Amino acid sequence: MKIVFMGTPDFARASLQALLDAGHEIAAVFTQPDRPRGRGMQMSASPVKSLAVETGIPVFQPETFKDGEPTRILRQLEPELVVAVAYGRILPVDFLSVPKYGSINLHASLLPRYRGAAPIQWAVLNGDEITGVTVQYMAAGMDTGDIISQCRTPVGEFETSGQLFDRLMELGAELLTQTVEDIACGRAGRTAQDESQATYTTMLSKTMSPIDWTRSPREIVKHICGLDPWPTATTVIAGTELKVFGAAYTDHRTALAPGGIVSAGKAGIEIACGGGETLMLTEIQPAGKKRMSAAAFLLGHPLEPDVR
């Protein structure tokens, strides 16, 4: 099938590679304009652009769709299908309606749940036991189009957003490739989304990082996992700010107020949580230093019980 692919990050690159491997003709790639990245803020191409350049695919990077130029380019390309994966922009209806088979999008949630940004992180943050990926027809609204296909997967109890991202990236690429084949063969269905079940997400920010120790141990674990690798959960112990990457449940109870140090030793740093339960911090990172076990941190920073 002749496809115009639209995407920007690594999540989208995996889908583009899968479509190429399946033998589809990628007529062109649309991706976000080059942006400053990294500590040096050097201009760099998106992962999708890099793959397109490597494979000789024409690349377009429009700053806007309001002038109609991207739509004109799309009509000239005459694709049978537009495929979008994490492109990063809502597209106009006149653009979406150009291809013979319409325009489809891969979204990293089980729509209509978690429309919008950061669906993977929010599935972890909210403690969901099941998540997945959805391929939908694109519509005027954000992730509101009819569903073509979905694939579900369990979320591990201690699975981080980064780990789940990698799994859904591969799962999504597989589902997308199969769905494109179904569309080409005329066997793809479509189901309208149930608007009563729709939820929307927001972007993550560093203001979310501090751990609220009045929450339950499981809520705190999901907070730690959901913000890994960015912006990461944080806490301050005895005046030292720590990024928190690992924690373990305990079967202990305590009379200490939330945030109090219950114990500190080889197993880690045990901290009082809401409801009298406790949680063991096992992997942390002090500011300006490498990640380390909590036990290694304690060698240079001994803690006394009742410290908050």
> Are 152 and 224 part of one and the same domain?
no
Provide the domain count of the chain.
Answer: 2
Angle between the N-to-C axes of helices 161-185 and 10-21, in degrees from 0 to 180, rounded to the nearest 10: 40
In a domain, 306, yes or no: no
Answer yes or no: is 21 within a domain.
yes
Same domain membership, residue 129 and residue 26:
yes
pLDDT computed for residue 41 by the predictor: 64
User: Does residue 66 sit within a domain?
Assistant: yes
For 164-195, write each residue's pLDDT tens digit: 999 999 999 999 999 999 999 999 999 999 99
36 plus 185 within the same structural domain: yes
Helix, strand, coil: what percent of the chain each, to 5? 30, 30, 40
CA distance 26 to 19: 8
Residue 280 lies in a domain: yes
Judge if the upstream peptide bond of residue 112 is cis by omega within 30 degrees of 0: yes
pLDDT in tens, 252-289: 999 999 999 999 999 999 999 999 999 999 999 999 99
Cβ atoms 106, 19 nearer than 8 A? no
Q: Are residues 165 and 231 in the same domain?
A: no
- State pLDDT tens for residues 207-256: 999 999 999 999 999 999 999 999 999 999 988 999 999 999 999 999 99
C-alpha separations of 54 from 46, 48, 58, 59, 182 in Å: 12, 10, 10, 11, 28
Are 170 and 29 part of one and the same domain? Answer: yes
Residue that finishes a domain, picked among 197, 217, 249: 197
**Structural domain boundaries, residue 152:** 2-197
Task: Show which of 197, 230, 258 is a domain's final residue.
Answer: 197
129: left (phi over 0), alpha (psi -120 to 50) or beta: alpha
174 and 243 belong to one structural domain: no
* 305 within domain boundaries: no
Q: Is 308 a member of any domain?
A: no
Instruction: Give me the chain's average pLDDT, please.
Output: 95
3-class SS of residue 97: coil
Residue 198's Cα: distance from chain center in Å?
Answer: 18
Q: Is residue 68 in a domain?
A: yes
Residue finishing a domain among 143, 163, 197: 197
The answer to whether residues 94 and 153 belong to one domain is yes
Asked if residue 165 and residue 38 are part of one domain, the reply reads yes
280 in the same domain as 155: no
Closest among 304, 252, 289 to 273, alpha carbons compared: 252
Tell me the CATH number at 107.
3.40.50.170
Let me know if residue 147 belongs to a domain: yes
Same-domain check for residues 178 and 241: no
The answer to whether residue 39 scores a pLDDT higher than 90 is: no
Whole-number pLDDT of residue 38: 63
Does the pTM surpass 0.85? The reply is yes
For residue 304, name the pLDDT band (cuts at 50, 70, 90): confident
Same structural domain for residues 124 and 7? yes
Domain at 270, CATH number: 3.10.25.10
Do 119 and 162 fall into the same domain?
Answer: yes
